[in-house]
Amino acid sequence: MSRFKLLVTANAFRVNAPISEGPVHAAGGEVLYPPRMGPLPAAELIPHLREADAVIASTDPYTAEVLDACPRLRVIVRWGTGVDSVDVAACTERGVVACNTPGFTVQAVADHVFAVMLGMARHIPEQVALVRGGGWSDVRGVELWGKSLGIIGFGAIGKAVARRARGFDLRVLAYDPALSPEQIRAEGAQPVGLENLFAASDFITLHAALTPESRGMVHEALLRRMKPTAYFVNAARGPLLDETALVRALREGWLAGAAVDTFTEEPLPADHPLRQLPNCLPTSHTAFNTEEAAAATNRAVVEEALTVLRGGRPRFALNPEVFDRLHFRRREPLI
């Protein structure tokens, strides 16, 4: 009989099973998977979460209502950095530890940004489709070399993108209200306001965290300020971007193209126009997904969950104040 049950809704963890499951089984745990991997809506999540002591989570909604329906749960570990789907305050009130795993996918996402910028600039998808279809013709692109790159959100990923930009002799403009101009300049970037960034950049990449204040921060007025030759990348969170405005911008030529890895609704509906627009390069929320990043994150999420179930304090607790709660659900360690 297992000592504890660990639910997994993050598909990146399941893909690497059984290797990723090894430490869980060694600790006497059972790994549970839903029939369909996350993100799951609350109604679909709850029946599986009720049976779990811990969850390695996709971007499922961990709200007060979900937590109340799952009193057995002790710890939520987000696979990755973003925690906009977790009500951390509600977790604290109910004695549930909330964790994420920051830093392990930084280099993968930064690589992805340059992959899609080069893909759009040189029309790589169009060239591949042409040749595979039996064609052979000139497809003229543009260079990244010496252009201006605007980075929105200058945290770990934004800085990693800026470091790569030096190799392309890109002029880096950065916007991050959480940093001082001196902090931005120290990383070799020029601090600018958001409107100026959109007007001056040849390429723009979005790396802001999703908060109530940042939701919809990239809107029609900003997209209209872009050069018609410029390209936009979103490898952060879908709700940061007004997708309706982006569709119009791509159709009407306010910008040359966009690469979008995250969407307001995921999976992206089959009839969504961003799937069909020729100047849009959509990917399936996979910027983080490299062998190296997945292996490191899988080790980290298991370590966080097992630490809590052993009665310890994890490295990446989002609500460390939960350990002072009398009703904290770790009082009797499970391992």
DSSP H helices, the chain, are 11-15, 22-26, 42-49, 64-68, 88-93, 106-121, 124-132, 156-166, 181-185, 194-200, 220-223, 243-252, 291-309
Residue from 78, 207, 285, 330 carrying the catalytic annotation: 285
Sheet holding 203-206, edge to edge: 190-191, 171-175, 148-152, 203-206, 231-234, 257-260, 280-282
Residues 60/45, Cβ–Cβ less than 8 Å? yes
Q: Does 25 qualify as catalytic in the annotation?
A: no
Q: What is the total residue count of the chain? A: 335
The C-alpha R_g of the chain, in whole angstroms, comes to 22
The residue annotated as part of the active site, out of 44, 93, 220, 266, is 266
Among residues 153, 151, 149, which one has the least CA distance to residue 171? Answer: 149
Q: For residue 255, how far is the Cα from the chain centroid?
A: 24
Task: State yes or no: is 50 an active-site residue.
Answer: no
Compute the 3-state secondary structure of the chain and give helix, strand, coil in percent, each to the nearest 5: 35, 15, 50
Name beta bridge partners: 311. none
Query: Which amino acid, 223?
Result: L
Q: Which one of the listed residues 48, 237, 329, 330 is annotated catalytic?
A: 237
Kindly state the tokens that stand for 175: 């916007």
266 has catalytic annotation: yes
| Contacts for 267 with CB less than 8 Å, ≥ 6 apart | 284
Residues designated as active site: 237, 266, 285
